[in-house]
Amino acid sequence: MYMIISKQKSLSCLLAIPLTLFSMAACTQTNSAAPAAEQPAAAQVESQPAAADTSGAKLNVNSATPEELMAAVPGLGEKMADEFEEYRPFVSIQQFRQEMGKYVDDATIAGYEEHIFVPIDMNEADAATLMQIPGVDQNAADEIIAKRPFDTVKFFLGEVAEYAPDADLEIAQSYLTDASAANVAEPAASAPSTSAKLNVNTATAAELMAGVPGLGEKMVDEFMEYRPFVSIQQFRQEMGKYVDDATITEYEEYIFVPIDMNESDAATLMQIPGVDQNAADEIIAKRPFDTAKFFLGEVAEYAPDANLDLATAYMVTQ
């Protein structure tokens, strides 16, 4: 009996030893696996795709070299870079999509478009190509197209600003074709002194006498007494008490009354070179303007020859 029990105990011990060894091995494996479980998480963080480039530093798909394209467009290999080069010049973004769609899917093409652009001809580009400009949607593109032809880049950008107030005009200009970008010449100023006029409300007495030929100390005192002027008509009326219309007209070649985009009358708006009575009336009818960009867009629409730099310079500081 004793021997049987002893044998049973021995058998139990023998069975227990492998179980103990198995448990120890399992613990060892569990402990050694723990650090490995953390590694994929770190790798996952590092492998997240970079955010889309919104800086506007896209490549012109018609002029970039294959090396530039492969360096700038993630995942673009030599074969696809060759296809880009084979089919160009692209005249529309739709053409680009159609040709590249022979080789890759729509999602891949959309990824390419985050890094490249098809140049825009302001008088020929279709709506989809115009919509490459950040802030330009389908409705805005259709409105811009309806306003063609554009004689100058300034006129085109004015329309972009009007129908897409949030559009990035710097990017819009950088996306233009060379032919479009060449139309940037400003109209000749009507008078050589136009760009150097003085703000009649802020110029000092010394600046006025130095800047306005024939203006004496007495008239400078009158300028100072009646300001601030809120309209050019007010200036003419008050100065008309002392000098004739011809003299006032000469003064106006060297001074301006600041323009409030939401309050100025037509005559005050007409201080902007290129803005006539009809244009001023149209601009007033579009009020109120929330931003200077929107106001300047209307100036460009109704007075294509207007000098927008001077319009900006003449505006009241909001």
Q: Give the pLDDT of residue 177.
A: 84
Number of C-beta neighbours around residue 27 at 10 A: 10
* Same-domain check for residues 175 and 211: no
Q: Give the pLDDT of residue 20.
A: 42
* Same-domain check for residues 67 and 167: yes
Domain count, the chain: 2
Q: Which domain holds residue 231?
A: 194-314
What confidence tier does 212 reach under pLDDT thresholds 50, 70, 90?
very high
DSSP string, 164-221: -TT--HHHHHHTB-HHHHT--PPPPPSSTTGGG-EETTT--HHHHHHHSTT--HHHHH
Cα–Cα–Cα angle for 33, 38, 39, rounded to 5 degrees: 100
Tokens 């409030």 map to which residue? Answer: 260
Show the tokens assigned to 188: 């000749």
Collapsed DSSP state (helix, strand, coil) of residue 80: helix
Ranking 4-13, 209-218, 269-278, 301-310 by mean pLDDT, the lowest is 4-13
Q: Give the pLDDT of residue 182.
A: 57
* Same-domain check for residues 198 and 176: no
pLDDT (tens digit, 9 = 90+) per residue, 226-258?
A: 999 999 999 999 999 999 999 999 999 999 999
Does the pTM exceed 0.75?
Answer: no
* Same-domain check for residues 210 and 267: yes
Which of 122, 152, 181 marks a domain boundary? Answer: 181
* Same-domain check for residues 152 and 92: yes
Residue 11 included in any domain: no
pLDDT (tens digit, 9 = 90+) per residue, 94-112?
A: 999 999 999 999 999 999 9
* Same-domain check for residues 122 and 236: no
